[in-house]
A and B are shown apart, each in its own frame.
Chain A
Amino acid sequence: MIVSRNGEPAYGGVGTFCKAPLALRPEELEGVDVAIVGAPFDEGVSYRPGARFGPRAIREADNFFLHPPSRPHMYLGVDAFAELKIVDYGDAECPPADLLASHAEIKARVTEILQAGVIPVVLGGDHSLAYPDITVVAEHFGKGQVGVIQFDAHADTAPNNIDRAAPHGVGMRRVVEEGFIRGEHFIQVGLHGYFPNPEDFDWMRSVGMRWYTAEEIDERGMAAVADELVSTARSEFPDAIFISFDIDVFDGAFAPGTGAPEPGGLTPREVLPALRRVFRELPIIGMELVEVAPAYDPAAITPILAHRCILEALSALALRRTGHEPRPQFSAVTA
């Protein structure tokens, strides 16, 4: 369903993602390559709430483009909207004040997307979203048959020993302990801060999880880390990999609008090329982007960055589908 007039500016009309067509029913997913779907809830946070406003803010963080959508990537030389059929699947019907019901709804929507053979891109919401997202992915591709690459400041591997429903600090532990993902098929990128506890790091090592801290990326350089990450995933991971992207992997300077900002994070110039490599070189079957809390960010630079992460991923996916090499828009000085 097209919900925009031709020539309508990004800031006008109805704000689907990049003014992509809106789809509300599973049968509208036929022939689609990628479906954006929102998960507006934040009842899983341990600190600042506000990520329920993330999906709408990310959709609205578009700049001066017009309908119909076109986003030619100046470095890859590909237009995601020309190569892929991308739709906005609206938001899951997350009811306020009921985290488990929100998880059930988002599971249902992501399952519909996967069953249609489409790549879901889920806009959180807080990071407790990982549990519903990753469990449905594992149910679809096979329990233990999915790899996860997580960009995050936080490992989210605390034990779920506080008797709460499903908060955002424990999702990765649960999906490993419950057998949805094997520890050795799990890599985390960008960890920093004082979480989790040493016993939790011991547990992570014992189940075979791997990670690159922000500190290590500083010491080795992101290009070298990305090389190793891609080659590990290629040789050891299953043929279906899910990306769990927490915006707080970035330093608070770049992403102030988030629930638990951690100083000493990564920069967009480190992360965006790495994210493109992952989408271009690995079999990515879905992605979530979580923890954007727009109320803390008056200039909207965090939703703009989240929007850009998705566009970069979709552009690289488009390039993978074409089989082309990148064709940068070089000028005479660099050609």
Chain B
Amino acid sequence: MSYRTPKHGRVVSREGEPAYGGVGTFCKAPLVLTKDGLEDVDAAIVGAPFDEGVSNRPGARFAPRAIRDADNFFLSPPFRPHMHLGVDPFAELTIVDYSDAECPPADLAASHREIKSRVSEIFEAGAVPVVLGGDHSLAYPDITAAAERYGKGQLGVIQFDAHTDTAPVEWGGELSHGVPMRRLIEEGHVQGEHFIQIGLRSYFPDAEDWDWMRAVGMRWYAAEEFDHRAPAAIIEELLAIGKSDFPDAIFISFDIDVFDPAFAPGTGSPEPGGLTPREVFPALRQLFRELPIIGMEVVEVLPTYDRANITPLLAHRIVLEGLSALALARAGRGPQPQLSNTKV
């Protein structure tokens, strides 16, 4: 089995231990708790267990653990051969679980500081952070950490979300989950023209906020547009914009509520009319394959509202699809799908 052992990090699983047994690191990846253990790591999973930034249903503090536990029948050591890409991210990349940031209950600002420290450590080690939220106020510490690493205004953001999160700070506090994208642009961390949102719907935000978004050059694709144009055409356009107009470092901010509530009921503000996994997975893979993705966050998973655990399973899959496509990009080859005799 081609499994790359990190220089540091602790293997916390017995060999052959099933996914549902033992200690639940992400895909049973080795555990790293100190930054010196990040040497030569390609991607580090880190959790941000807090939800004090929400305007509606809380519960995302339980998501990092739920997403890690939402693994299926695989054994330790980790392997995940992707049947369409023909790559195993655990063979191509050194992936570790950097555990959770020390988010104290009832102190949103302190949680943001802690997660920013952990994400900065991952960036400084040259690894790609994959941050498991947590509510979407996480975008502010994550993306400011990325902008400090790659340069203020030198970072693109692609956001999958039902909501723009561009409200002005009027209610709910300047750290809440409804405002981070506005603050990031207003404070110059990200330029508006380097910001694209995908899957928008709902009755949020206000008309003045849309005007502000247009004024600063933000772009978006509403969920509705996926019914008027072929999703593949939208993704082609998105990739072209990312390649020609964006800086060489792009962060993915992924709110699970971009999916229709049928697919992701366990979330804080579900919005009917959302995208499907079969629309989003190929898009996400193309982004990771063809654009310089330097980090990702997956936010707003609320396991308590879920039944059958389908929302954490979907979030886990989002991370795996991102890592698989990143592995293919690093391997520098094209996809090698497992085609059947009806296709070859």
Query: Using a CB–CB distance below 8 Å, which chain A residues touch chain B?
Result: 7, 9-11, 63-66, 70-75, 77, 251, 253-254, 267-269, 272-273, 298-301, 304-305, 308, 311, 328-329, 331-334
Contacts and interface: CB of A to CB of B under 8 A. Distances in A.
Contacts of A253: 262-263
Interface residues on B, range: 35 or more
Contacts of B214: 331-332
A9 B262 contact: no
B290 to A, nearest CB: 18
B201 interface: yes
A39 B149 CA distance: 58
Nearest to B167: A64
B221 A334 contact: yes
26 contacts: A10-B56, A11-B56, A63-B56, A63-B269, A74-B200, A74-B203, A74-B210, A77-B207, A267-B260, A269-B260, A269-B273, A272-B273, A299-B265, A299-B306, A300-B270, A300-B305, A301-B262, A304-B272, A308-B272, A308-B273, A311-B203, A329-B222, A331-B218, A331-B220, A331-B221, A334-B222
B261 A299 contact: yes
Nearest to A71: B203
Interface in B185-226: 196, 200-204, 206-207, 210, 213-214, 217-226
Contacts of B55: 9, 63-64
Contacts of B273: 268-269, 272, 308
Contacts of A70: 206
B329 to A, nearest CB: 24
A304 B204 contact: no
B221 A333 contact: yes
A331 B261 CA distance: 25
Contacts of A268: 260, 272-273
Contacts of B207: 72, 77, 329
Nearest to A304: B270
B305 A73 contact: no
A298 B305 contact: yes
B227 interface: yes
Contacts of A273: 224, 227
Contacts of A73: 203
Given A254-B261, A299-B307, A301-B270, A63 B219 contact: no
Contact of A75 (B206, B217, B224, B241): B224
Given A9-B55, A10-B56, A269-B227, A305 B272 contact: yes
Contacts of A305: 261, 272
Nearest to B205: A72
Contacts of A267: 260
Contact of A332 (B178, B219, B222, B227): B219
Interface in B220-265: 220-227, 237, 241, 260-263, 265
Contacts of B178: 64
B206 A333 contact: no
Contacts of A299: 261, 265-266, 270, 305-307
* Chain A interface, DSSP helix/strand/loop, else mixed: loop
Given A64-B269, A304-B261, A298 B307 contact: yes
A333 B262 contact: no
B216 to A, nearest CB: 11
B139 to A, nearest CB: 16
A82 to B, nearest CB: 10
A50 to B, nearest CB: 16
Contacts of A269: 223, 226-227, 260, 273
Q: Across chains A and B, which 10 residue pairs bring their CB atoms closest together, nearest first?
A: A299-B265, A64-B55, A301-B261, A253-B262, A299-B305, A71-B203, A268-B272, A329-B210, A331-B220, A268-B273
Contacts of B203: 65, 71-74, 311
**Central interface residue in B56, B260, B262, B270, by most chain A CB within 10 Å:** B262
B285 to A, nearest CB: 21
A73 B225 CA distance: 15
A317 to B, nearest CB: 15
B73 interface: no
Contacts of A7: 171
B264 to A, nearest CB: 9
B305 A333 contact: no
Given A11-B57, A254-B262, A301-B262, 13 more contacts: A63-B202, A64-B178, A71-B203, A73-B203, A254-B261, A254-B272, A269-B260, A273-B227, A298-B305, A299-B266, A305-B261, A308-B271, A333-B220
A302 to B, nearest CB: 9
A142 to B, nearest CB: 35
Nearest to A61: B270
Contacts of B271: 63, 304, 308
B225 A334 contact: yes
Contacts of A64: 55-56, 178, 204, 269
B11 to A, nearest CB: 36
Contacts of B270: 299-301, 304
